[in-house]
Structure 1
Amino acid sequence: MNTAIEALRLPLGTDLSGFVALLQRLGVPHRVSEEGGEQVLWVPDSRLVREVGLLYARFPEGDPQGALPAPPRRSTSGVLRQLRRSPLTSLMLLATLLVAALTLLGDNLAAVGWLTFQEFHIQGDYLYFVPLAESLAAGQWWRLLTPMLIHFGWLHLAMNALWYWELGQRIEARQGAPMLLLLTLLFGLASNVAQYLFGGPALFGGLSGVLYGLLGHCWIFHRLAPGAAYRLPPGVVVMMLIWLLVCLSGLVTALGLGAIANAAHVAGLVAGCLTGALGGAWARRRG
Structure 2
Amino acid sequence: MSWSLALTANLEVSLAGFSERLKAAHIPHRISEARGEQQVWVADEPTAALVRELYQAFLANPDPGFTAVNAISKPISQPLWQKLRRFPAVITILLLTLAVALWTQLGTSLAAVAQLSFNAIIFEGDEAYLVSLAYSLEQGQWWRLITPMLLHFGWLHLAMNSLWFWELGRRIELHQGSWFVLVFTLVGALVSNVSQFWFSGPALFGGLSGVLYALLGFCWIYQRINPVAAYNLPKGVVGMMLVWLVLCLVGVVSAMGFGQIANAAHVSGLVLGCVAGAVMGVLNKLKVSE
Bucket of the pairwise TM-score, normalised by the shorter protein: 0.7 to 0.9
- Quote the residue 1:54 is aligned against: none
Q: 1:73 to 1:222 in 2, by over 3 A?
A: closer
Question: Could you say what the CA RMSD is over the residues aligned between the two structures, in angstroms?
Answer: 2.0
What is the CA–CA distance in structure 1 between the aligned matches of 2:120 and 2:210, rounded to whole Å? 21
1:6-155 correspondence to structure 2 within 5 Å: 78-123=79-124, 126-155=127-156
- Return the index of the structure with the highest Cα Rg: 2
- Quote the residue 1:189 is aligned against: 190
Q: Which secondary structure does the structure 2 equivalent of 1:106 belong to?
A: coil
Shift of 1:286: 1.3
What is the CA–CA distance in structure 2 between the aligned matches of 1:99 and 1:184, rounded to whole Å? 17
- Give the letter for the 2:141 counterpart: Q
Q: Which secondary structure does the structure 2 equivalent of 1:255 belong to?
A: helix
What is the CA–CA distance in structure 2 between the aligned matches of 1:125 and 1:230, rounded to whole Å? 49
Count of residues in correspondence between the two structures: 216
Q: List alignment gaps of at least 5 residues for structure 1.
A: 1-71
What is the CA–CA distance in structure 1 between the aligned matches of 2:269 and 2:233, rounded to whole Å? 18
Farther off after superposition, 125-134 or 268-277? 125-134
Q: Please say if 1:242 is aligned against 2:239.
A: no
What is the CA–CA distance in structure 1 between the aligned matches of 2:126 and 2:74, rounded to whole Å? 43
What is the CA–CA distance in structure 2 between the aligned matches of 1:110 and 1:209, rounded to whole Å? 24
Q: 1:244 to 1:154 in 2, by over 3 A?
A: same
- Give the letter for the 1:155 counterpart: L
Q: List alignment gaps of at least 5 residues for structure 2.
A: 1-72
What is the CA–CA distance in structure 1 between the aligned matches of 2:282 and 2:74, rounded to whole Å? 36
Shift of 1:230: 0.5
When the two structures are superposed, what TM-score results if normalisation uses the length of structure 2?
A: 0.71
Shift of 1:75: 11
- Give the letter for the 2:161 counterpart: N
Q: 1:127 to 1:86 in 2, by over 3 A?
A: same
- Quote the residue 2:281 is aligned against: 280
Q: Which secondary structure does the structure 1 equivalent of 2:228 belong to?
A: coil
Give every structure 1 segment of 4 or more consecutive aligned residues whose post-TM-superposition deviation is greater than 4 Å: 72-77, 123-126
Shift of 1:121: 1.9
What is the CA–CA distance in structure 2 between the aligned matches of 1:160 and 1:167, rounded to whole Å? 11
Shift of 1:173: 0.7
- Quote the residue 1:171 is aligned against: 172
Q: 1:74 to 1:179 in 2, by over 3 A?
A: closer
Q: 1:109 to 1:226 in 2, by over 3 A?
A: same
1:85-130 deviation line (CA, Å, top 9, x unaligned) = 1111111101001101110100111111000001012346653111
What is the CA–CA distance in structure 2 between the aligned matches of 1:223 and 1:130, rounded to whole Å? 43
What is the CA–CA distance in structure 1 between the aligned matches of 2:74 and 2:278, rounded to whole Å? 34
When the two structures are superposed, what TM-score results if normalisation uses the length of structure 1?
A: 0.72
- Quote the residue 1:213 is aligned against: 214
Farther off after superposition, 77-86 or 150-159? 77-86
Shift of 1:73: 11
